[in-house]
Amino acid sequence: MRWRNKKSGPRPRGLIRRFIKDREGVTAVEFALVGAPFLYLLCVIFETGLMLFSEYIIENGVSRASRMIRTGQVQINGMSSAQFKNEICGKLADFLDCKNKLHVDVRKFSNFSSISLPSAYNGNELSADVTTAAKFQPGVALDVVVVRAYYEWDLFVPGLSQLANLSGGRRSLTAGAAFRNEPYTT
């Protein structure tokens, strides 16, 4: 048996062998390799689901509010564009910023073949035709009406730039309806 000085510590070759044979930290190392991509993927799935859920909520709000135009309730009650937007926003989830990020455009036409809508996008931004110069023309009985709504969704998971269709890491969620007003009487 060889004696060695206790202060010198273990031999380097023995330390490497022991490290290779030791299995106590394997779970932590495996989690470190797999955990980060898994958590990122989980965040991507969560944001995508939340974004699709929000688009569904907006579409439902547009459908409900459009029905009020179709049946003449908006015209009879003299509803303004702000009141109509509030009608769409009324049932939206609290996490959506309806006041600042939802843009609504309502246009009337004499028939379906005459529908001609301006582009909603100007490059990678929403065009002024649906933001600052949006129209509110609910029409009268038997007019054809097109309602379009655009919501600017801020992507919060980094690396999802391929989903962004607006500048600044934002995505446009859209909803719309096209219909002929019913023959209501005022």
Q: Is the pTM of this model over 0.85?
A: no
DSSP string, 28-67: HHHHHHHHHHHHHHHHHHHHHHHHHHHHHHHHHHHHHHHH
pLDDT (tens digit per residue) in 88-131: 998 777 889 999 999 999 999 999 999 999 999 998 999 999 99
Residue type, 55: E
Q: Which pLDDT does position 51 carry in this prediction? A: 94
pLDDT tens by residue, 128-170: 999 999 999 999 999 999 999 999 999 999 888 888 899 999 9
| Alpha-carbon separation of residue 130 from 33, 75, 126, 138, 139 (angstroms) | 46, 21, 7, 15, 18
| Cα–Cα distance for residue pair 138/84, rounded to 1 Å | 10
